[in-house]
Structure 1
Amino acid sequence: MEKSLLLQELPESSWPRERLLRTGEKHLSDQELLAIILRNGSRQQNVMELAGTILRTFPSLYELKQATVQELQQFKGIGETRAIELKAMMEFGYRINCALQPKMGRVQSSLSLGQQLISELKDYQQEHLVAFFLNTKNEIISQKTLFIGSLNQSIAHPREIFREAVRISAARVVLGHNHPSGNPIPSQNDLEFTERVRECGEMMGIELLDHIITGETKYFSLREEKYLK
């Protein structure tokens, strides 16, 4: 009912929300994006017409960004609450645009990362699989615990690792997990899992840089020990 009232002059395939779901936000015009943000129009104009009127009044997005709450209220269908929401949306968009990808230090060596993992994982009584996601400069852009429990194929799966890697556009991955026994020597499961991850990463163009296994005071790097090349 709401859609036919607000967008009565448009075919369903042209409704902005449906177009965003079908084609993605980058294919929408400024008018369509603004219409989605506005949600509805007024008795005089449907939401697309209202968005068009606003954009004609402020010919550039810069001018729209500078508009005051009072200036936005000149349009029928935009009261104080909606004008405040628009100003908040524009400021939030500006802050997102200025945001930088977080960096958590650069991976200098397996030694430094192994020592860090010993400190972080030594007191756990279950195995924890941790992934470090790196950019092309080997800077850590994310660290995430992916699995807790025995590192076997039914629990740990490469798709979980690479789903996150793709999501944040990581170029490389370093895995780390602990052996609660205190002995960091890899098991056959560890080696098979590492090889599966390496093969998957190779197909996707995301390098498995290392897999570090920690005990209570020592670590085992599969790259240092030539299991990974």
Structure 2
Amino acid sequence: MDYQTDLKTVTDHELLAAFLGEHNDRKRCLELRTQFWNTFPTLADYKHAPQRRKDDFFGSTDKSLCQLLIGIEIGERIARASRPLLGNIYSSKQVGEKLITEFRNDQQENLCLICLDVKHRIISQQIIFKGTLTTCPVHPREIFAVALEQHAESILIAHNHPSGMTEPSTNDIEFTHRLEQCGQLLGINLLDSFVIGQCDYLSLREEKIIEAAG
């Protein structure tokens, strides 16, 4: 099977044949496929079969089908896996102090995006842009593209000033207002915007440069 194939368009029988064909010659692959489908006529039959029946089947076969069992288990674990959480947001001070530690010695301007779920738990934190000594070109669409991909309910943004000063520039304020307006249209709240300095931070929310979210 070509690895560029869209697996969602492949039938169950084709998918099993492709998996078993990776580990066996053509004749043995056919034998194993027949053995599996004779025991479990459909994948739904496998899913709802008693565990003892599954254990008996895999316990009486060779390692090739045991590899299939491993693949099934990996798939089931992926399906059950919850989104990783990187911590909870409780206050602007908590975020600001954390970001000072991360960016205080960086000589380039960075724009950091923190995505939050409905309970204000961090589901993603990443640097969206790295700039020069004085600039960090960015557009709201890049920020909200990530936020939408992460299914964020709200976001925080932060950027550092390599000068070490936290006074927001006119561009900082205008850009934050643009993000706030875009977020309102998309239903993603901009909770806060931070300027990170050498030993301090400034929260545009605390300074009431942006209004509290409704």
TM-score normalised per structure 1: 0.72
Are residues 1:35 and 2:35 paired?
Answer: no
The residue matched to 2:210 in structure 1 has which SS? coil
Which residue of the other structure, out of 39, 43, 48, is the alignment partner of 1:62?
Answer: 48
Paired with 1:50 and 1:104, the residues of 2 have a C-alpha distance of: 45
Paired with 2:177 and 2:16, the residues of 1 have a C-alpha distance of: 47
2:92 is aligned to: 110
* Worse-superposed segment, 50-59 or 121-130: 50-59
How far residue 94 of structure 1 moved from its aligned partner, in angstroms, is 1.9
1:145 is aligned to: 127
1:20 is aligned to: 8
Code of the residue aligned with 1:133 in structure 2: it is C
Q: Deviations over 1:199-229 (max 9, x none)?
A: 2222211111111111111111111111211
Which residue of the other structure, out of 123, 147, 162, is the alignment partner of 2:105?
Answer: 123
2:160 is aligned to: 178
Code of the residue aligned with 1:36 in structure 2: it is L
How far residue 157 of structure 1 moved from its aligned partner, in angstroms, is 2.0
1:88 is aligned to: 70
How far residue 146 of structure 1 moved from its aligned partner, in angstroms, is 1.1
Paired with 1:165 and 1:57, the residues of 2 have a C-alpha distance of: 39
Are residues 1:228 and 2:213 paired?
Answer: no
TM superposition outliers: structure 1 runs of 4+ over 6 Å? 40-45, 48-52
Paired with 2:74 and 2:172, the residues of 1 have a C-alpha distance of: 44
Paired with 2:190 and 2:37, the residues of 1 have a C-alpha distance of: 49
The residue matched to 2:90 in structure 1 has which SS? coil
Code of the residue aligned with 1:35 in structure 2: it is E
* Worse-superposed segment, 172-181 or 36-45: 36-45
TM-score normalised per structure 2: 0.76
1:135 is aligned to: 117
How far residue 190 of structure 1 moved from its aligned partner, in angstroms, is 1.3
Are residues 1:204 and 2:192 paired?
Answer: no
Code of the residue aligned with 2:177 in structure 1: it is E
How far residue 72 of structure 1 moved from its aligned partner, in angstroms, is 6.1
The residue matched to 1:119 in structure 2 has which SS? helix
The residue matched to 1:165 in structure 2 has which SS? helix
Paired with 1:161 and 1:196, the residues of 2 have a C-alpha distance of: 12
Paired with 2:109 and 2:126, the residues of 1 have a C-alpha distance of: 14
Q: Relative contact order: is structure 1 or structure 2 higher (C-alpha 8 Å, sep ≥ 6)?
A: 2
How far residue 180 of structure 1 moved from its aligned partner, in angstroms, is 0.8
Paired with 2:39 and 2:208, the residues of 1 have a C-alpha distance of: 63
Which runs of 5 or more residues in structure 1 are unaligned? 4-16, 22-27, 74-79
Q: Deviations over 1:33-71 (max 9, x none)?
A: 4633532786798xx999865641772413397354455
Q: Deviations over 1:111-134 (max 9, x none)?
A: 111111111110100111111110
Whether the 8 Å CA contact 1:183–1:215 is kept in 2: the answer is yes
Are residues 1:191 and 2:169 paired?
Answer: no
Q: Deviations over 1:73-130 (max 9, x none)?
A: 6xxxxxx43x244212211012113322222221111111111111111010011111
Whether the 8 Å CA contact 1:103–1:140 is kept in 2: the answer is yes
Paired with 2:94 and 2:130, the residues of 1 have a C-alpha distance of: 23
